[in-house]
Each structure stands twice: as C-alpha cells, then as structure tokens.
Structure 1
C-alpha cells in the first residue's frame, strides 16, 4: 500500500514559512518492511495505519482512529500530540481525549483536552519518578491509594465510553464510576494475585465529567475516554523518560498487555532527548541504547502485530552549557542507532534531525522562535511544525 520511502513535501517545514529563506530538503519517512520478506515485501510498517485511516474516512471503522504517542518531555506537555490531534480531528472528526493517566506521572505531564482533579491520599508512580517495586506502571504511570480518594476527569467534548486500566490484587478495594454524577459502574479489584485488569463502560450521551471514587487499596493506571468515531491521540509522554526506563521500570509483559488492550492503530515512539546528554557517540552506552530501543519496539510490535509503529528521531541539540555552544555530537549516532532498531523491528522511521536541518539547526530554530533557550524543547510554534509535518507524512497516500 505504501512504498519503502514516503517522500512528503512538507510545506509546514521550517523553510516553507518564508519563501525568502533557503528551501529545506524534502522530508522522508522510511516505511520499512514489517513482514521480514525484504525485496518481496508484502506488508510495510505503515500499512496498518493507512488501512485504519481509510476505514475511518469511509465510515466503516469499528472504533476511533487511535495513535499512542510514547515520548519524553518533548511531548509530555501535549503540544506536539495536541497539534496532531487537532489536525486529525479536522480530517475525520474528534474521537475524544484518548488515554489519560489516572494522575500525571510527573508534575509537568499535561493533557490539553482533559481537566483532571485529584482528591485524597494518592501515591503517584511514574517511569522517571518513583517506579513501584513490582514494575507495574500501566502505560507509564499509576496512582495508588489505601485510604480512598477521587479522580475526576472533565473532557472538552462528550465521550461515549470509558475503558479503565487498573491493578487487580490481593486485598484490593473497589471504585465506583460516575458520569455527570450518575453511577454507571462499581468495580471490585480483589484478586488472588497481581494482574492488569480493565473495565469498559458506556457513558450516557452528552456526559463530560467522569469520576472514579476509590475505597480501600486501589491502584489505577488511567483510562481511555473516547467517542464512537473520529481520531484520538494518546499523550504517553513522561518528563525525564528514557528508553531504558520504559523497558526496565515497566514490566515488558505488563506493557505489552496494556498496549494490546488499548489497541492503537499506530504507536509513535520519540525518545532520546535525555540520553543524548550523557551517552557518547561511540560508546557501549550507545550500543545499549540501540538494544533497549529494539526491545521496546519488539514489545510494541508484539502487542498489536497488525498495527503500525513509527520512530521519530531526536531533534538537534546545542550544548548551551559550553561557551562555544557546540552541537551535541551524540545526536547523529543516536539517530542512526534508532533507525537500525526501527528497521530491524519492522517500524517506520522519520529522521526529524535531518528534516530540521541537521547539525547546529537548533540555533536557527531558536532564532526563529521554534525552540526554547535550552536548544532542546520546541516552542508551541515548533511543536506545531513538527506535528504538521508528521500529519502530512501520515495522511499522504
């Protein structure tokens, strides 16, 4: 359905913003073979997403178009993900907020289509902060209480169903589910052993306020909040997250089960911002990063073999702590390592480092208001450009 390299003329790229500037090269999303057959490839990495998008546009899809976006602080503020969410909603309709954590796994993790209110003595766990000893973190974070408490989500648009991810465990408590104040379910979490559990409930028409009221010992991972159709983009970005933390702080089988339940049509992985600060270009650390990245992608592929996965590379970085402010040398090597891991696991790859201009391009982005003064994190305008480029790559036949 799609060729091994999808060349997309990204008018949203840096150069297209002003015709007087040097024209940037055309971006390329490398759509690798996902069935291991090489030149006789029958299935490419993005075929599953392309089919799901076509079904959504034709009105024949059984559920909303789902994208789960795994990332670090570049996506945790929900700017890239929300911009992508907005573009897709304009194309096929608003499918709701998608998955939202029970509690932010880091104080700076956000979701721009949900207002969250938490009351009671909840203990929050996250990939990069306070992972629990059992390494059961849902899709990246959890909230646990032994004395009861309430988690309330208020969505900007109505949803029709909620799918709650929680932990069943010995001596587990219970929680009630309310929609606009009306009780729509009561869930007991007691089990003979710890295991991931899920509860899907229909939400009354027009409801926007969902509350989970816990009693006793309850651990909640989060919930997907969806409409019957449209597009959803899950923001699974966690501040300070690394590929190693995703693999080692969250049990791989547990993560696989969580992703399988979520059933995304596309998983996007964008990690490396943090590791680039301490992993040298030619080092055992970079080899470990490639191995761990491959392990993460293997978990993603095993969870939903017919779905798609896409690796979005790290952006260019400038080491502003050094007087000469050199470009960070680890980035090109990390991009290559992630490309190899993506190809080996049957995932597509987008070299955003090359797309934004390569070595030192972060300085130019800063001058144009597209990246913050740390030369790492995109501004709202920069995030929108990245999301726009990604959108064009995904929806162009």
Structure 2
C-alpha cells in the first residue's frame, strides 16, 4: 500500500471511546456544545418522562442504519427504548435500511430525495418525500404510543387516514391556502403493533415519527449518495429549519464526506466550498433549536482502490480540518474519526480485520458497531 502500518489491535478489544471536541458556548466557558444532551440523558436515567431524541444526518454510512442502530440500542439500554423515531414515508433511495421498524409503501407515490429527484419547490421535509396517493405501513420493533406525521399543506391537498391494527383512528385534510410544512400528531392505542397511513388524492408526505412516551430515539436520516451540499442545496433553508425546530431533537449529528472524498482535492475552491456548505448547514441546525446540542462526525479514512497500490485519499485530512473549523464556528462538537481509527491508511488495517468492505470506504456491520460503541462512550459518561 506504500504506507507503514502499526500492528492492528485484536478484534476482541473494545474500541477506544470517541474523544469529542466540545467547544465553549459563552465567553466564561460555563456552557459547552454537548451540555444539553448530556444533562438530558442524565435526567432521563431516573425521571423517564419524555423521549431523548437524536437526529442523525449522513450518507450511506448512516443509511444502512448500523451506526444509528448501535447508538439506539446502547442508549436504549440506559434509558429505555423510545421507538424508531422519524421514518421517511418512502425510502429516498432503494438501499436505505432501518432496523427499528419495518416499512412498506404502496400506491402511486412519486418519491423524491436529496440524492436523486428533487421537487422544484425544494420542500423535502428532512430529506425525502412521497407525493401522490397510496398507503404507508409501519411495524415498529418496540412499543410506541404516538405518531407525528410530517406533510405538506397545500391548495387542493387530499386527505390522510390513520389506522392502528386495521382500525381507523382519525382522518385529516392536507389542504391549505398556501404550500407550507405541517404536522399532525395522534395518540396510538396501547398494545397496537401495526400502523398505516392512507393518502387520498393529492398528498405530499414526508414521513412520520413513531415514539414511546419516553426512552431513546435515534432518527436515521442517512440517504445513500447524499452529500452535505445536496442537503443544503436541495432543501429550502427555511423549510429545513421548520422541520428541525418541530422535531426538537436533543442532539443533531451530521456526518458527511464519504462521497465528497472521491472528487475533492486538499486545496482549492472545492474544499473551501465544502467548508462553507458545512457552516451554512450547521447554522440552520443551530437556528432551529438554539438550546440543543449538535455534533459533526468526520469522514473515515479511505483508500482509492481504483488507483494502483490503492493509496489513501489525500482529500480526507483536509476535509477533516474543514469540518472541524465549521463545527467550531457554529458551536457544535466534533469527532475526528479519521484520527480515531488510525489516520492515514487505517482503512487497510480495518479491511484486514473485517471492519470495512473491499471498497475501503464502508464499514461492515462489525465496523459500524465499533463506531457506534465508541461514539456512545464519548457522548455518555459512565
């Protein structure tokens, strides 16, 4: 590979906990970026009177749900399971997955997503939408007590019916004078296991949050082929802020760079633009919920398997630095996963250990579990 590697640790050894940069939020350094999330988790370990929400944006590394699921399970073991959280109405990409819920969409839906087809009005919810008429069925892996439907209110909007275990709960109209994001929350019957939304006529449905009254919730907002620029460009900023404000997550995690690493170079306009895109995206996150926490997770090391000798991609260290600066500028915490996993060429070690697949970019399920375990350990003190 052209790079000298230290002997990799044994696969049975637990991962080193994530070392998170946690910047001060005031001149006296009395508050830090992660204080809100950590204090909320500490309170909910005993009080358990509301969900603790994490919204995890990302690309294919998150879209598989392995990292988000690992975090969901570990936090759930601490404060209880809170349900799958927000789930897209229809998968924005065929390879998106979710381990906390089964979803089936049927009918004449036209599906949009930030990495594929985008509507002209750029109203995509948290990254994807389904437009038309049809049904969406959800079967969560753990009990839930409420559903919060994210949709577009619009002229001549159709109706949505809510069913629980085949029984109609409520019907509401999505019609309105102008196009704007809207939300409908409904209580769900105790013990119900299967939920369905049936859309009639002209409906644009973004998705639904399925939650218990308390416990850990990790929204999987990863989309295959997504980039930070795509999220910032293809969702209208005001629209995204409304979605984030309504979701009111205690922690928003942003992890992009897997795709950008293939074309960005260490210096130049492209990398400068990436940094500015991250700054703008994080500004929307912070503006939506100023008192909540945010965290940027850097891209992992990559090897360019298409080139002779599979050299490490030299875009990664520059991207890590750019994202670190963007996070600090907006008062967000930062995790340098590139350094954590071993730095330049570390994905070769991870491949030998069965922790990344042969593209030297995407973690295996075991590799993703180690990332989730390290992140949880860094976020939640013992």
* TM-score (norm. length: structure 2): 0.96
Counting only pairs closer than 5 Å after superposition, residues 294-313 of structure 1 correspond to structure 2 as 294-313=279-298
Moved over 6 A (4+): 23-26
Among 362, 366, 369, the residue aligned to 1:381:
366
CA distance, structure 2, for counterparts of residue 46 and residue 158 of structure 1: 29
Residue ranges of structure 2 left out of the alignment (5+ in a row): 1-7
Counting only pairs closer than 5 Å after superposition, residues 279-358 of structure 1 correspond to structure 2 as 279-358=264-343
Match of 1:34 in 2: 25
The change in CA–CA distance for 1:324 and 1:100 in structure 2 (over 3 A counts) is same
CA distance, structure 2, for counterparts of residue 301 and residue 27 of structure 1: 23
Match of 2:178 in 1: 193
Match of 2:245 in 1: 260
Among 15, 39, 42, the residue aligned to 1:51:
39
Residue ranges of structure 1 left out of the alignment (5+ in a row): 1-13
CA distance, structure 2, for counterparts of residue 27 and residue 210 of structure 1: 37
**Are the equivalent residues in 1 in contact too, given 2:15–2:374 (CA < 8 A)?**
no
CA distance, structure 1, for counterparts of residue 10 and residue 267 of structure 2: 35
Match of 1:124 in 2: 111
Counting only pairs closer than 5 Å after superposition, residues 1-397 of structure 1 correspond to structure 2 as 15=9, 17=11, 27-35=18-26, 37=27, 40-59=28-47, 61=49, 63-145=50-132, 148-396=133-381
* TM-score (norm. length: structure 1): 0.92
How far is the alpha carbon of 1:155 from its aligned partner? 1.1
How far is the alpha carbon of 1:34 from its aligned partner? 2.5
How far is the alpha carbon of 1:312 from its aligned partner? 0.5
How far is the alpha carbon of 1:26 from its aligned partner? 6.9
CA distance, structure 2, for counterparts of residue 15 and residue 224 of structure 1: 40
Q: Deviations over 1:49-85 (max 9, x none)?
A: 0111012112154x21110000000110101000111
Measured on the aligned residues, the alpha-carbon RMSD in Å equals: 1.4
CA distance, structure 2, for counterparts of residue 362 and residue 335 of structure 1: 16
SS at match of 2:70: helix
How far is the alpha carbon of 1:187 from its aligned partner? 1.4
**Are the equivalent residues in 2 in contact too, given 1:327–1:360 (CA < 8 A)?**
yes
CA distance, structure 1, for counterparts of residue 366 and residue 55 of structure 2: 22
CA distance, structure 2, for counterparts of residue 228 and residue 24 of structure 1: 32
CA distance, structure 2, for counterparts of residue 89 and residue 16 of structure 1: 28
Moved more, 23-32 or 135-144: 23-32
Count of residue correspondences: 375
